[in-house]
Amino acid sequence: MAEIKKLETARLMKKVMADHFYEIDAACKSGEPKVAWCTSVGPAELLRAMGFVVYFPENHAAILGASRAANDCIPAANAIGYSPEICSYLTADIGAYLKGFTPLSKIYDGIESIPKPDVLVYNTNQCRDVKDWFEWYGREWKVPCYGIESFVNVGEVTKDHVDSIAGQMKQLAKKITEATGNKLDEDKLKETVRLSRRCSDLWRDVLEMAANIPSPLTFFDGTIHMGPAVVMRGTQVAVDYYETLLKELQTWVDQGIAAVEGERHRIYWEGMPIWGKLRENAKLFLDLKTCVVASTYCNSWIFSAFDPDDPWNSMARAYTELFIVRDDDYKEDYYKRMLEIFKFDGIIFHDAKTCPNNSNCRYGLPQRFSKETGIPFITIDGDLNDLRCYSEEQAITKIEAFIEQLDG
Amino acid sequence: MVNGRVMDCFAGIDIGSTTAKAILVDGDSRIVGRSVQRSGYDFAAAADRVITEALESAGRKRSDIKRVVSTGYGRRNVEFADEQRTEILCHAKGVNFYFPEPVTVVDIGGQDNKVIHLGADGERLGFTMNRKCAAGTGAFIEEIAYRLDLPLEKLNEMAENAAGEVKIGSFCTVFSCTEILGMARRGVPVDDIIKGVFRSVVKRVAEMDALDGKVVMTGGVVDHNPIVARMLRELLEHEVEVPPDPQAIGALGAALIAREL
Ligand code: SF4
């Protein structure tokens, strides 16, 4: 049986992530610099430019999922009124807090708890759940919680959209200063936006390495290597990380090293990963000699609009241009562009029970896309974190049958 | 050779969540042996039982089997299988044997339902399996029969004799059971309830996917309850066919694949 190949850079990844958590932990313990919580596609650049270290609870929730601790935690949040039908990042994370548990203390010696923030900042561009999630902690800790109320179902991103979001960001900066005393450094904002853009470009280049046939990278690798793009964008560390990763991938391509030995089929994954089954799923596709080459999910941290010369408007545009914010016509078009780049033979839609926002198979989009392009699809019922919503046996059968179908 | 007959055969074993099926075909794709039994909890033992019975019915020995393909929920538990294939592929193969034309297969199994679109040569154009819930599957019907204390083999006849028909509104098996027990308490004739149960199964299946063109129904539910095929015909207002031995169609497909490998 084939083994999952590991990139050397994965080791560096461990260090980058450890440094990130220790930096926040130290800040939290000493009170300096102040800690801000931010949503994963929220205004992290702004917060860095205001002198905060930034913590991302979604990342923590994904660790709960990947370490299979989520299902022990979710019921605790359900019991205080957060339905099992809503975001299982939220329920896993709040549940873990209620139980006094964090996987961080298992992984990182000396870290006892998640960091208590000085301010909580969300962006509803991805969903409303993040707002409920952050507000819960705001009430729990009596910490100010602010956010950007974003647009949904956006077709073309217009100047009106950009003006509104840029205006909200400026207001947000003022409120944060009033509440915490941290001031915005405009030069630092430009520099942070520049670094975020560089990180984003490198991350895109990394992902596009999978356009090579065979691909040196799978979606499952991507979900691991995206860590720095999520939690460290806007810093030199993230830029350095992706430069190293890109170089290694280039050597794999030059040497014809395939992530999936004997790659027979190429698949696009639409939707969230099933965190608790990442390894099993990576292995399943490996044994089927099928490479999941690309995904909307990993692409979500590509922000090509960032422009250091116009930080406010470009941040507003970047955070509104995201796939998750857009309408179905845009999304269908997007898949077509991905098809051109990655040349996949099939598409798998993950219908995540607790995240309608990342489940794009509920309004006929797979059928429309498949009809237009002739690319077959299947839908897998599952969830990002709540494994009670995932029937593994049925998913395996569906995936195996799909590959048999592609075999002809 | 026995009396000048070539005894070589190929086996397909379909270990479903509820029933285990074995089909033996000879080198000319003729069915020579068959067995259908409850799967029980030990799938490996069930596989042994059905293959033994199928061999007996075929008058053949283990050593006559040239190749075995297993399929179904328990396909990995069939230790003597040479290869495994999914039930989607095997159903497609089995149906194409009887209907070598473009069809939509609707399989109502013990625990899940499938819709498979097949092209003229039996190639799979796409498929859907039901979601996690058992509503609309054989398990749903069994649960209701159990709650109402009715023998499974009587259900078809009861539905055929029903003077009226109830409407079941819930999606979920548990909710449907509650709804049905409420009806029973109110004195609704049980035949009408059973007819309504079958109708709800048919509706669940019809909403899984577009059922275009000729539809072929397979699986244990339609095997034991022909009324289900008639109801689907009424709903779709077009042809719905049932192949011979619809419950063993996956095992037949597996046997045919074994022959071709
Ligand atoms: S986008 Fe989905 S997974 Fe992410 S926070 Fe919102 S509901 Fe949860």
- Residue pLDDT, tens place only, A379-393: 999 999 999 999 898
Q: Averaged over A89-107, what is the pLDDT?
A: 97
Lowest mean pLDDT across A124-128, B36-40, B69-73, B207-211: B207-211
Atom of ligand 1 nearest to the CA of A126: 1
pLDDT at B131 over 70: no
Question: E strands of A105-199, at which residues?
Answer: 119-123, 145-148
Q: Which amino acid is at A290?
A: T
- Nearest chain B residue to A408, by CA: B123
How large is the average pLDDT for residues B165-194? 85
What's at B228, amino acid-wise? V
Query: Which atom of ligand 1 is nearest to A39's Cα?
Result: 5
Domain ranges of chain A: 9-185, 188-407
- The fold adopted by the segment(s) A9-185 is Rossmann fold (3.40.50)
Q: What is the pLDDT of residue A140?
A: 97
- Tell me what pLDDT residue A240 has: 97
Binned at pLDDT 50, 70 and 90, residue B2 comes out as low
Task: Give me ligand 1 centre to Cα A306, in Å.
Answer: 23
Q: Do A393 and B126 touch (CB under 8 A)?
A: no
- Give the H or E element holding residue B11: strand B9-15
Q: Is A374 on the interface with B (CB under 8 A)?
A: no
Question: In whole angstroms, what is the distance from residue B135 CA to residue B142 CA?
Answer: 11
Q: Where are the domains of chain B?
A: 9-91+248-260, 100-242
Considering the domain A188-407 in this protein, what is its CATH number? Answer: 3.40.50.11900
The third-level CATH classification (topology) of the domain covering B9-91+248-260 is Nucleotidyltransferase; domain 5 (3.30.420)
pLDDT at A296: 97
Please give the distance, rounded to the nearest whole angstrom, from the Cα atom of residue A58 to the centre of ligand 1: 8
Is the Cβ–Cβ distance between A229 and A200 less than 8 Å?
Answer: yes
State the average pLDDT over residues B37-54: 95
Cα Rg of chain B (Å, integer): 19
Distance from the alpha carbon of residue A99 to the mean position of ligand 1, in angstroms: 22
Closest CA to A228 of A216, A208, A211, A245: A245
Q: What is the pLDDT of residues A43-64, one digit of tens each?
A: 999 999 999 999 999 999 999 9
Asked if A373 is an interface residue toward chain B (Cβ–Cβ < 8 A), one would say no
ipTM of this model?
0.85
Q: Which residues of A touch B87 (CB under 8 A)?
A: 397, 401
Handedness of CA B177, B182, B185, B191 (dihedral sign): negative
- Chain A interface includes B60 (CB < 8 A): no
pLDDT tens per residue across span A8-21: 999 999 999 999 99
Whether A9-185 and A188-407 share one fold: the answer is yes
Q: State the CATH class of domain B100-242.
A: alpha beta
Tokens linked to B232: 């689907």
pLDDT in tens, A174-201: 999 999 999 999 999 999 999 999 999 9
Q: What is the pLDDT of residue B170?
A: 74
User: A7 alpha carbon to ligand 1 midpoint, in Å?
Assistant: 29
- Ligand 1 pocket list (CB less than 6 A): A 58, 87, 89, 126-127, 129-130, 355, 357-358, 384
In this structure, the number of other CB atoms found within 10 A of the CB of residue A297 comes to 21
DSSP A386: -
- Three-class SS state of A207: helix
Task: Let me know how long chain B is.
Answer: 261
Identical topology for domains B9-91+248-260 and B100-242: yes
Q: Is B111 helix (H, G, I), strand (E, B) or coil?
A: coil
Pairing of strands B113-118, B103-108: antiparallel
Separation between Cα atoms, residue A367 and residue B36, nearest integer Å: 37
Is A347 at the interface with chain B, CB within 8 A? no
pLDDT-derived band at A154, boundaries 50, 70, 90: very high
